[in-house]
Amino acid sequence: MTGIQKYVEWSDTLLVGHQEIDEEHKGIFAFAAALYDLDLANTPPSMVSEIICKLVDYASMHLWHEEELMMVTSLSVVFRTLNSALEVFYPSYDNHR
């Protein structure tokens, strides 16, 4: 593709520190690269459509996975916070159980 700025390539500076999420992010970049590398003038529209559909499906799965992890992490933080509050405001709670 001429006249269009080159797409952003994957770099380890984009790692978020969660192996599964990092791999999914790399997958999104791979789909973007596949689209960028197409010669649109000579590529059947069905092939372009197929790549775009796969990218949308993959991105949807990835966002669902990220959201699920955020909810689990948030709940974990909530429970730790409640536990800390119990220790401060009710130090004998462990003995009470």
Q: Residue 31 above 60 pLDDT? A: yes
Backbone Cα Rg of the chain: 22
Which pLDDT value is given to residue 7? 65
Question: Contact at 8 Å (CB) between 66 and 42?
Answer: no
Q: What is the mean pLDDT of residues 6-29?
A: 87
Q: Which residues contact 94 (CB under 8 A, 6 or more apart)?
A: none
Model confidence pLDDT, tens digit, residues 38-69: 887 888 999 989 999 999 999 999 999 999 98
Rounded CA-CA distance 9/24 in Å is 14
Which pLDDT value is given to residue 27? 94
Rounded CA-CA distance 34/28 in Å is 10
List the chain domain ranges: 18-96
- Give the residue, 36 or 24, on which the prediction is more confident: 24
Rounded CA-CA distance 40/51 in Å is 12
pTM of the predicted model as reported, rounded to 2 decimal places: 0.68
Q: Residue 78 above 50 pLDDT? A: yes
Which pLDDT value is given to residue 41? 80
